[in-house]
């Protein structure tokens, strides 16, 4: 699969309302893994196995836990005492189609390859450090090109780091100086699109500091994956604040404004309305004839943060102003962090939209995960003491999955 997709929050402290209460669920917690034995590479025959990554923090420390479970279904036991514990905000990376997974260290820009032993305990393998290449800390996504090539998008360093997941070696960097905007973070897209040898990803420009503004434009970087060079850099001034692209069953890719962009527009800190651009399945540039203003779909409500919904549909988060509290000094992340965002489904072929009544309003900045062709999000309880998976694309509508202690921030199928 694509690398696990996560919604990156500016920081845990700025996430505002932590309780993403989609549904109220209480589930039992118990049982887990075993001691180490000879390793068996992830992806070989046998029972299904999933790695679930959680995080627990208090006023003094943050620790991450990686659990191996046989199922993501409701009632599956999760025992923190049997998990692999890593200090800090460690991150799960997974290339499902390659049977590869690893962990980004919580306290340094180091990526370690992991496998499962015969008892499904995690076994650490080779590691690479991105620090010599200027990377200061890790975000939770990569652009996978092949079993021997992946790009790590280093936003702070305005570059891609080229590395080999098979040999665990760094092969170089691709500078991206054209993506620089003074005073703004160049936020490279959480997902990428491949068209033959060309890799495409968006760039949105955000200032989460002094001005709390978003630039009214979207960049599109085209990388030649054979030569590891920038083939082209485009800028489209019709739409801003894009962080996520989604490819639908048609093969077209939709680039949709983030909820943060919608909040910035609502606060008059972004000129362009929340909107969507498109790259057709046989093209590698934004379609000049396609622009959808999301407010025209939602009768004026701000919206954003696209999530795959199966087929040619996307889920959108739609803001219900009647459920929110907004003051003169409200920040964009304080809007996205409120339990005021409805779930809607958008059919990109017909432009029909409908609210997903089974899901209650929640913060917009929840995570989502693409696991074995199934799309999940989480119900995050107040203070992140517990998380429950919700399978958004389940037959018959959203379905509850397993429950874990702490904040669930990553899921991958590893066998």
Position 136 scores a pLDDT of: 93
Please report, for residues 97, 260, 374, the alpha-carbon distance to residue 146 in angstroms, rounded to integers and kept in the order given.
10, 32, 22
Query: Can you give the pLDDT at residue 34?
Result: 39
Q: How many residues would you count in the chain?
A: 415
Between vectors from CA 30 to CA 27 and to CA 31, what angle results, nearest 5°? 140
What are phi and psi for residue 267, nearest 5 degrees? -90, 10
| CA 403 vs CA 73, 129, 408: distances in Å | 9, 33, 9
3 state SS for 63-131: EEEEEEECCCECCCCCCHHHCEEEEECCEEEEEHHHCEEEEECECCCEEEEEEEECCCCEEEEEEEECH
Place of tokens 């549909």: 313
| Tokens representing residue 157 in the block | 């360093």
Looking at residue 21, its pLDDT comes to 34
| Backbone φ and ψ of 351, nearest 5° | 65, 20
Q: Give me the pLDDT at residue 2, please.
A: 36
DSSP assignment letter at 165:
T
User: Which residues in the chain come in under a pLDDT of 50?
Assistant: 1-45
Identify whether the C-beta of residue 116 lies closer than 8 Å to the C-beta of residue 415: yes
Q: How far apart are CA 224 and CA 233, in angstroms?
A: 12
3-state SS string for 245-289 = EEECCCCCEEEEECHHHHHHHHCCCCCCCCEEEEECCCCCCCCCC
Domain segments of the chain as ranges: 12-413
The CB density around residue 268, as the number of other CB atoms within 10 Å, is 8
Determine the Cα–Cα distance for residues 361 and 323; give it in Å rounded to an integer: 9
Burial of 143 (0-12, 13-18, 19+ CB in 10 A): buried
290-308, pLDDT tens digit by residue?
999 999 999 999 999 999 9
Residue 190's contacts (CB-CB under 8 Å, 6 or more residues apart) are 5, 6, 7, 8, 141, 243, 244
pLDDT in tens, 319-345: 999 999 999 899 999 999 999 999 999
pLDDT of the residue at 383: 74
How confident is the model over 59-96, as pLDDT tens digits? 889 999 999 999 999 999 999 999 999 999 999 999 98
Q: Are strands 193-195 and 386-391 parallel, antiparallel or unpaired?
A: unpaired
CATH for 12-413?
Answer: 2.130.10.10
Report the SS3 class of residue 323: helix
Check residue 46 and give its pLDDT: 58
CA separation (Å) from 344 to 131, 133, 134, 404? 41, 41, 40, 26
**Do the beta carbons of residue 64 and residue 410 sit within 8 Å?**
no
Nearest to 260 by CA among 217, 297, 208, 299: 208
Taken in order 140, 264, 304, 398, the sign of the CA dihedral is positive
d(CA 390, CA 375): 9
The CA dihedral of 303, 92, 196, 164, to the nearest 10 degrees, is: 150
């Amino acid at each position: 699969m694509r690398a696990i997709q996560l919604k990156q929050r500016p920081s845990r402290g700025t996430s505002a309302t932590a309780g993403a209460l989609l549904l109220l669920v209480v589930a039992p917690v118990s049982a887990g893994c075993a001691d180490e034995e000879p390793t068996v590479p992830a992806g070989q025959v046998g029972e299904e196995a999933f790695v679930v990554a959680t995080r627990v923090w208090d006023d003094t420390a943050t620790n991450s836990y990686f659990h191996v479970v046989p199922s993501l279904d409701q009632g599956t036991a999760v025992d923190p005492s049997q998990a692999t514990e890593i200090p800090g905000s460690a991150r799960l990376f997974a290339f499902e189609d390659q049977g590869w997974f690893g962990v980004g260290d919580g306290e340094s820009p180091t990526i370690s390859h992991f496998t499962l032993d015969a008892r499904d305990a995690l076994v650490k393998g080779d590691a690479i450090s991105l620090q010599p290449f200027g990377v200061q800390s890790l975000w939770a996504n990569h652009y996978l090109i092949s079993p021997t090539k992946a790009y790590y998008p280093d936003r702070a360093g305005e570059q891609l780091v080229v590395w080999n997941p098979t040999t665990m070696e760094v092969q170089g960097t691709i500078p991206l100086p054209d993506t620089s905007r003074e005073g703004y973070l160049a936020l490279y897209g959480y997902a990428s699109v491949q068209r033959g040898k060309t890799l495409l990803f968006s760039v949105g420009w955000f200032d989460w500091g002094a001005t709390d503004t978003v630039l009214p434009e979207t960049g599109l970087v085209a990388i030649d994956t054979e030569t590891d060079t920038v083939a082209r850099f485009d800028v489209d001034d019709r739409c801003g604040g894009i962080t996520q692209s989604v490819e639908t069953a048609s093969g077209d890719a939709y680039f949709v404004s983030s909820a943060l962009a919608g909040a910035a527009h609502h606060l008059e800190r972004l000129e362009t309305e929340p909107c969507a651009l498109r790259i057709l399945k046989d093209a590698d540039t934004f379609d000049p004839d396609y622009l959808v203003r999301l407010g025209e779909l939602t009768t004026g409500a701000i919206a954003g943060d696209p999530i795959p919904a199966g087929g040619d549909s996307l889920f959108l988060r739609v803001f219900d102003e009647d459920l929110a509290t907004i003051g003169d000094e409200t920040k964009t992340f304080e809007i996205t962090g409120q339990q005021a965002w409805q779930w809607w489904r958008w059919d990109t072929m017909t432009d029909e939209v409908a609210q997903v009544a089974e899901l209650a309003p929640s913060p917009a900045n929840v995570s989502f995960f693409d696991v074995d062709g199934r799309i999940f999000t989480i119900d995050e309880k107040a203070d992140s003491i517990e998380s429950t998976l919700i399978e958004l694309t389940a037959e018959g509508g959203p379905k509850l999955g397993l429950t874990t202690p702490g904040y669930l921030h990553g899921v991958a199928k590893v066998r």
